Amino acid sequence: MPEILRLTQMRASAPALLLDGSGDLPGTSPPPNTPDRRSGPASLDALLASLSVRARLWTLTVGLFAVLGTANMLLGQIIQQRVAQEQEQSEQYSRLQTIQLVREAMSEVRHYESSLNVARLVGDEALKVQSQARLQEAEAGLATQLSALAVFDGPGVDFLKRQRELAQAPMRQAINAISGKQEDSLRLTKQTMQHLTAIQDRLHQAAERERLRAEALTASQIAGAQAGFRASMLIVFGALLLGLLFCALVLRSIMRPLRATTAALKQINEGQSLVEMPPISADEFGEMALALRQFRDQADRLRELAYADPLTGLGNRARMDHALRAAVARCRDRGTRLALLSIDLDGFGAINDGLGYNAGDAYLREAGLRLSRFAPEEAVLCRHSGDKFTVLIEAADPNDTALLPGPLRDTAELILRGMAESFQYREHLLPMSVSIGIAQFPRPCESESELISGADAAMYLAKRDGRHCLRFADRQLSTGARQELADVADIRRGIEQEEFQAFFQPIVNVVAGRVAGAEALLRWRHPQRGLLGADRFIPAAEANGQIHALSEICLRRVGEQLCEWASAGSGLWLSTNLSVRQLEGGALLTQLAALRERNGFVPANLLLEITESAALERVDHAKETLAKIREMGFHLGMDDFGTGYSSMVYLQRFPVDKIKIDRLFVSRMDSSREAVAIVSATIAIARSLQLQVVAEGVETEEQSQRLRYMGCPLQQGFLFSPALPPEEFGGWRQRFEAADRSRDLEADQV
């Protein structure tokens, strides 16, 4: 006995394990075929939890049927008792009725006996016969009623018969005595009356006895009905309560893990890291819990992927936006500071275009590694987009000095120095440097959007001021920098919304009086600012690497238009400008190769123009790219000829087909002999080199006539037409050539 008490105390003092519904530790599943070592379920909940959901539902169904069946059986017994009582009461009333019928039959027999005795006394034979017949009928009826009475009162019937027999002898003797005038007739009559009175008393007693019994049965039936009603109500309510209790237990055993599963799903969908998972049990909910754990793990992996940059392993833009919102909210609550560093790689576009995307990816990965190495450990590092990175630094408490201007500048300069080392990619030693813009919260920036725009604007200023430097955002940040940043974002939006369109300015052969071709000029149909020329957006696009997208749009529109003109048999050619950036990468050659594959496209109808300044930046690389373009069948032209340092030399180095006289010289021909000499010399050189010449910027008839006399029939300018949208170009061409033919006819007539 002491040993049992000691074991009981040890078990009571042992710490309770947090078990799930199956008795296993959370997050584990019970081993298969493991016997339950518990002596029995501690409660009905434990018993239900050990069953599958299907078994619980079957148990609920069977239990409800059992409850209903039991209730029906009990109610049936009550109804049977009620029917038995009613039958007994009916039988009792039948007895009373039988006794009454016996009394009436007995009275009828006495009546006819009296009539017979009177007939005998008066000697009326007819009356005697009639009374005798009636008496026989009455005695037959009495015999029938006595037979019915004998069913429940045999002794009483025997008594009645005996008393009647005893009463008949004195009655006959009394009649005879009266007829003979004997003195003992009174005694015999009294004796007969005694027997008849005994019969009446016995019938009265039987009737009273049965009446009392009927009243007792009625009272008992009323009490039984009331008790049956109460018992029926108790059975109905008991069955209802028992059914509801059983349903509640089964439903609770189902709803409890279901609510736990639903709550866990909500927590997972909300992105919470600590999720209270439902226990793993042996039922269907255990399978759901296991599947939910797999879903949680998968959701965690997807969330990591959603917030991670696959190239560098740093966070992505979504991660930065989420972290920035949370950090700003914490800083407002705690009164602390934070800083956002916008970091952009210098010259990444040239590396990506010159060496290909594989080199660009390796360059970005190296930049991410270096940034992870030199940025503060507690900072949030993200690759925001392209070659732009962001660093979010949050102060630990209001007294933290790490985000004061001095220490923050030291941190940024450490990143500048750490990122500045050259990067070895295969046989290439690539320079690496960054420009950093820094914005702080809560001063001078007071919101998330101000932090982002302030850091970007400061970074843009750092790039514009020479790159490989840092700038702080402040309230006096130049309006020009903000406007340029806004233009960059606006250009990106315009590209996405397809607001850029190629317009065509005609190039006219004034000698033949027809349109020879056109120059494709990109225009921007801005939804607020209207139609914008290239000078309003090309500089910003070149500075921020968006020129490739714009050039791709222009080339695509040019290809579509040339195919359309070729199918119509117009014979027109188009020229378009190439930028410095386009010559640096291989994207241009890829796009031109795609144009050649288009059905109906003729490469010789496309003239690609470069400026002398573009060719001057990288002579060898430009020469190699232009040679490949010529091999593909495209024509090349030199734009703004005469404005460079060594135009004649570049005519020998580059395989051009046309040269374009800059509008500066054309506009000065009316007032400058030097301009006339340069134009005349250019035309002469082109003729000697068998190159075509196009004069641009022709605005007056005098300029056109002088160029014609010099031997330059291809002219372009506002004298003929500004750049036109494609849908207007065809109509203008028809009107121009028709008007020129009319002038020729008039000249012939003269």
- Quick one: pLDDT at residue 402? 79
Q: In this structure, is residue 314 part of a structural domain?
A: yes
Q: In this structure, is residue 75 part of a structural domain?
A: yes
- Quick one: pLDDT at residue 131? 82
- Quick one: pLDDT at residue 492? 86
Q: Which residue has tokens 């950090």?
A: 327
Task: Select from 443, 477, 511 the last residue of a domain.
Answer: 477
Q: Are residues 340 and 468 in the same domain?
A: yes
Q: Are residues 203 and 321 in the same domain?
A: no
Q: In this structure, is residue 435 part of a structural domain?
A: yes
- Quick one: pLDDT at residue 5? 36
Q: Are residues 227 and 357 in the same domain?
A: no
Q: What does the block give as tokens for 82?
A: 């009620």
- Quick one: pLDDT at residue 38? 41
Residues 6-55: pLDDT tens digits? 333 333 333 332 333 333 333 333 434 434 444 444 466 666 666 677 77
Of the ranges 23-27, 101-105, 231-235, which one carries the lowest mean pLDDT score? 23-27
> What are the phi and psi torsion angles at 699 (to 5°)?
-125, -15
Please say whether the beta carbons of 442 and 460 come within 8 A.
no
Residue 644 DSSP label: S
Q: Are residues 333 and 466 in the same domain?
A: yes
Model confidence band, residue 367 (pLDDT cutoffs 50, 70, 90)? very high
Model confidence band, residue 711 (pLDDT cutoffs 50, 70, 90)? very high
Segment of 1-15, 250-264, 470-484, 598-612 carrying the highest mean pLDDT: 598-612
Q: In this structure, is residue 692 part of a structural domain?
A: no
- Quick one: pLDDT at residue 57? 75
CATH number at residue 430: 3.30.70.270
Q: Are residues 200 and 323 in the same domain?
A: no
State the total domains in the chain. Answer: 2
Mean pLDDT of 63-91: 78
Please say whether the beta carbons of 439 and 373 come within 8 A.
no
**Residue 684: other Cβ atoms inside 10 A:** 13
Of the ranges 395-404, 499-508, 551-560, 719-728, which one carries the lowest mean pLDDT score? 395-404
Residues 426-442: pLDDT tens digits? 888 888 999 999 999 98
Model confidence band, residue 89 (pLDDT cutoffs 50, 70, 90)? confident
Please say whether the beta carbons of 556 and 495 come within 8 A.
no
pLDDT at 358 over 70: yes
- Quick one: pLDDT at residue 270? 64
User: End-to-end CA distance of the chain, in Å?
Assistant: 144
Which is more confident, 220 or 322?
Answer: 322
Q: Are residues 244 and 319 in the same domain?
A: no
pLDDT at 566 over 50: yes
Q: Rounded to whole angstroms, how far apart are CA atoms 185 and 162?
A: 22
Q: In this structure, is residue 402 part of a structural domain?
A: yes
Where does residue 372 rank: exposed (0-12), middle (13-18), buried (19+ CB within 10 A)? middle
pLDDT at 387 over 80: yes
- Quick one: pLDDT at residue 721? 95
Segment of 15-24, 291-300, 396-405 carrying the highest mean pLDDT: 396-405
- Quick one: pLDDT at residue 648? 63
Mean pLDDT of 339-353: 85
pLDDT at 447 over 80: yes
Which is more confident, 73 or 178?
Answer: 73
pLDDT at 130 over 80: yes
Q: Rounded to whole angstroms, how far apart are CA atoms 540 and 480?
A: 12
Please say whether the beta carbons of 225 and 82 come within 8 A.
yes
Q: Are residues 393 and 471 in the same domain?
A: yes
Q: What does the block give as tokens for 331?
A: 């800083």
Of the ranges 94-108, 131-145, 300-314, 662-676, which one carries the lowest mean pLDDT score? 300-314
Q: Rounded to whole angstroms, how far apart are CA atoms 3 and 343?
A: 75
Q: In this structure, is residue 750 part of a structural domain?
A: no
pLDDT at 697 over 90: yes
Of 719, 700, 709, the closest CA to residue 680 belongs to 709
- Quick one: pLDDT at residue 9? 39
pLDDT at 380 over 90: yes
pLDDT at 352 over 80: no
Task: Select from 477, 510, 542 the last residue of a domain.
Answer: 477
CB within 8 A of 268, min separation 6: which ones? 275, 292, 295, 296, 299
Q: Are residues 240 and 363 in the same domain?
A: no
pLDDT at 226 over 50: yes
Of the ranges 265-279, 328-342, 383-397, 482-496, which one carries the lowest mean pLDDT score? 265-279
- Quick one: pLDDT at residue 181? 53
Residues 201-215: pLDDT tens digits? 877 887 788 788 877
Reduce the DSSP state of residue 598 to 3 states and report it. coil
Q: Are residues 328 and 235 in the same domain?
A: no
- Quick one: pLDDT at residue 449? 84
Model confidence band, residue 581 (pLDDT cutoffs 50, 70, 90)? low
Residues 650-665: pLDDT tens digits? 676 677 889 999 888 9
> Bridge partners of 498?
none
Q: Are residues 332 and 242 in the same domain?
A: no
Segment of 120-129, 153-162, 422-431 carrying the highest mean pLDDT: 422-431
- Quick one: pLDDT at residue 405? 84
- Quick one: pLDDT at residue 725? 95
Of 259, 289, 294, the closest CA to residue 277 belongs to 289
Residues 326-340: pLDDT tens digits? 999 999 988 899 999
Q: Are residues 238 and 326 in the same domain?
A: no
Please say whether the beta carbons of 548 and 538 come within 8 A.
no
Of the ranges 35-49, 138-152, 322-336, 681-695, which one carries the lowest mean pLDDT score? 35-49
Segment of 3-7, 396-400, 537-541, 571-575 carrying the highest mean pLDDT: 571-575
Q: In this structure, is residue 387 part of a structural domain?
A: yes
Residue 609: CA count within 13 A, CB half-sphere:
22
Of 491, 558, 552, the closest CA to residue 526 belongs to 491
Radius of gyration of the chain (CA): 60
Mean pLDDT of the chain: 79
- Quick one: pLDDT at residue 525? 93
CB within 8 A of 493, min separation 6: which ones? none
Residue 375 domain boundaries: 307-477
Q: What does the block give as tokens for 645?
A: 């340092």
Q: In this structure, is residue 560 part of a structural domain?
A: no
> What are the phi and psi torsion angles at 714 (to 5°)?
-85, 115
Q: What does the block give as tokens for 124?
A: 């009326």
Please say whether the beta carbons of 203 and 102 come within 8 A.
yes
Of the ranges 84-98, 496-510, 551-565, 691-705, which one carries the lowest mean pLDDT score? 84-98
Q: Are residues 382 and 463 in the same domain?
A: yes
Residues 595-649: pLDDT tens digits? 888 888 999 999 998 875 555 555 566 778 888 899 999 999 988 776 554 456 6
- Quick one: pLDDT at residue 129? 85
Segment of 10-19, 347-356, 472-481 carrying the highest mean pLDDT: 347-356
Task: Select from 477, 499, 520 the last residue of a domain.
Answer: 477
- Quick one: pLDDT at residue 743? 63
